[in-house]
């Protein structure tokens, strides 16, 4: 690594800029934590003694995971952020990542902007780029991220128990609202559009919160596919049911100004939220509040865990909300 493509099939990314130079120019920095970073066959990393390694991988494809309108800085940010969000959901501290990048052509302006967005977030999260692969192809970004956490301390999907409080971080639904605006399904003024577009394109991984929820939360998952879908995974893994107050779900002022039907669709089945949904004992409410305050992230109690199976939605008066989002059977995939 970097592995070069077999010469007979592969043209170079640029006439004057091959893969090797591209990596040297845009993606090579002095190794920090890594013993050996970009530029040998493998990167070498020395794990901290006694820690467990948390690993996650995500591939983003143009037109499926991002729109062609996204600026390269934001694409890079998001590709790394969605992976860091998986670390956050486990309570792992980011350490390093690898990047595989397929590009239709090696556009220098694109690469410079992509690298800028990538390293801005990576530096902030102290997460080091240790290796990569670049190739020509349909625009795709595949990142694998490594984190560390003390052995046995990981937040899992399987730890929720009846009686636990149910929480969500940040606000939900803005990314979905942005998508509706991009598709012309909803009209927003420029300020509102900029705000929800930012939520879609620059999600903030909740790594600081995840780390502080170790020993406090009983289970956690990050919301990438909509609250009901991802909460459904957590409930099934834990073998429990949940009741959620849809009126308690945290939302931005922009989303709160939409119709109730659209709000609920965005909140419950939005996708691309990258917030944490997690559970904790009612006796730990102060600890949850402290973790949230220390992480600088709002946390909202949205319901509770019950015995049984399935997800029940209610409004603030306690009445059942009949909804296509009421059953996560729709979201098994």
Among 99, 166, 211, 216, binds a second copy (CB under 8 A): 99
Give the shortest CB-310-to-a second copy separation in angstroms: 17
By C-beta, is 117 or 132 nearer to a second copy?
132
Separation between Cα atoms, residue 326 and residue 314, nearest integer Å: 9
Residues with Cβ within 8 Å of 333's Cβ and at least 6 positions away in sequence, in order, are: none
By C-beta, is 90 or 305 nearer to a second copy?
90
Handedness of CA 176, 181, 185, 190 (dihedral sign): positive
Give the shortest CB-286-to-a second copy separation in angstroms: 26
State the number of CA atoms in the 13 A half-sphere of 228 facing the CB.
24
By C-beta, is 179 or 246 nearer to a second copy?
179
Query: Within its chain, how far is the Cα of 40 from the centroid?
Result: 29
User: Which two three-digit tokens encode residue 22?
Assistant: 């591209």
Query: Within its chain, how far is the Cα of 129 from the centroid?
Result: 18
By C-beta, is 235 or 317 nearer to a second copy?
235
User: Which two three-digit tokens encode residue 67?
Assistant: 């729109």
Q: Which residue has the tokens 């409004």?
A: 315
Q: What is the DSSP string of 154-165?
A: ---TT---TT-E
Instruction: Indicate whether 4 belongs to the interface with a second copy (CB under 8 A).
Output: yes
By C-beta, is 10 or 290 nearer to a second copy?
10
Separation between Cα atoms, residue 206 and residue 274, nearest integer Å: 8
Residue ranges in 123-182 that form contacts with a second copy under rule CB under 8 A = 130-133, 135-138, 140, 142, 144, 146-147, 151, 154, 156-158, 175-176, 179-180
Residue ranges in 181-240 that form contacts with a second copy under rule CB under 8 A = 220-222, 224-226, 229-230, 233, 237
Q: Which residue has the tokens 């059942």?
A: 320
Instruction: Indicate whether 289 belongs to the interface with a second copy (CB under 8 A).
Output: no
Give the shortest CB-151-to-a second copy separation in angstroms: 7
User: Which two three-digit tokens encode residue 299?
Assistant: 């946390």
By C-beta, is 144 or 327 nearer to a second copy?
144
Separation between Cα atoms, residue 276 and residue 235, nearest integer Å: 14
Give the shortest CB-43-to-a second copy separation in angstroms: 5
Separation between Cα atoms, residue 299 and residue 250, nearest integer Å: 8
Residue ranges in 33-92 that form contacts with a second copy under rule CB under 8 A = 35-36, 39-47, 49, 51-59, 61, 63-65, 82, 86-87, 89-90, 92
By C-beta, is 39 or 163 nearer to a second copy?
39
Give the shortest CB-243-to-a second copy separation in angstroms: 23
Separation between Cα atoms, residue 81 and residue 323, nearest integer Å: 31
Give the shortest CB-299-to-a second copy separation in angstroms: 18
Give the shortest CB-72-to-a second copy separation in angstroms: 18
User: Which two three-digit tokens encode residue 169?
Assistant: 């971080």
Among 98, 195, 263, 279, binds a second copy (CB under 8 A): 98
Q: Is there a contact between 284 and 167 (Cβ–Cβ < 8 Å)?
A: no
Task: Name the CA radius of gyration of the chain, rounded.
Answer: 21
Among 72, 94, 271, 303, binds a second copy (CB under 8 A): 271
Give the shortest CB-300-to-a second copy separation in angstroms: 20
Residues with Cβ within 8 Å of 192's Cβ and at least 6 positions away in sequence, in order, are: 254, 257
**# chain residues binding a second copy, by CB under 8 A:** 91
By C-beta, is 20 or 293 nearer to a second copy?
20
Give the shortest CB-213-to-a second copy separation in angstroms: 13
Separation between Cα atoms, residue 197 and residue 147, nearest integer Å: 28
Q: Point out which span in 109-117, 250-258, 287-295, 325-333 binds a second copy (CB under 8 A).
A: 325-333
By C-beta, is 45 or 209 nearer to a second copy?
45
């Amino acid at each position: 690594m970097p592995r070069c493509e077999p010469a007979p099939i592969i043209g170079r990314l640029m006439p004057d800029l091959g893969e090797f130079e591209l990596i040297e120019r845009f993606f090579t920095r002095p190794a920090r934590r890594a013993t050996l970073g970009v530029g040998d066959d493998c990167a070498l990393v020395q794990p901290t003694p006694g820690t467990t390694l948390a690993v996650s991988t995500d591939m983003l494809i143009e037109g499926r995971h991002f729109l062609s309108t996204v600026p390269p800085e934001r694409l890079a940010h998001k590709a790394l952020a969605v992976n860091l969000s998986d670390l956050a959901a486990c309570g792992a501290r980011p350490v390093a990542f690898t990047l595989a990048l397929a590009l239709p052509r090696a556009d220098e302006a694109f690469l410079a902007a992509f690298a800028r967005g990538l390293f801005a977030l990576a530096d902030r999260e102290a997460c080091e780029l240790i290796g990569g692969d670049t190739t020509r192809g349909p625009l795709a970004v595949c990142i694998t991220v490594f984190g560390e956490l003390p052995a046995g301390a990981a937040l899992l999907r399987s730890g929720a128990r009846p009686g636990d409080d149910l929480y969500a971080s940040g606000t939900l639904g803005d990314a979905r609202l942005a998508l509706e605006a991009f598709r012309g399904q909803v009209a927003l003024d420029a300020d509102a559009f900029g705000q929800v577009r930012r939520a879609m394109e620059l999600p903030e991984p909740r790594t600081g919160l995840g780390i502080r929820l170790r020993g406090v939360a009983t289970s956690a998952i990050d919301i990438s596919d909509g609250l009901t879908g991802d909460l459904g995974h957590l409930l099934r893994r834990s073998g429990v049911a949940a009741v959620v107050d849809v009126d308690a779900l945290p939302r931005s002022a922009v989303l709160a100004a939409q119709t109730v039907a659209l709000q609920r669709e965005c909140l419950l089945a939005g996708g691309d939220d990258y917030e944490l949904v997690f559970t904790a004992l009612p006796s730990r409410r102060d600890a949850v509040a402290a973790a949230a305050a220390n992480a600088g992230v709002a946390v909202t109690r949205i319901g509770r865990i019950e015995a049984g199976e399935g997800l029940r939605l209610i409004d603030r008066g306690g009445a059942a909300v009949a909804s296509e989002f009421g059953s996560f059977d729709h979201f098994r995939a």
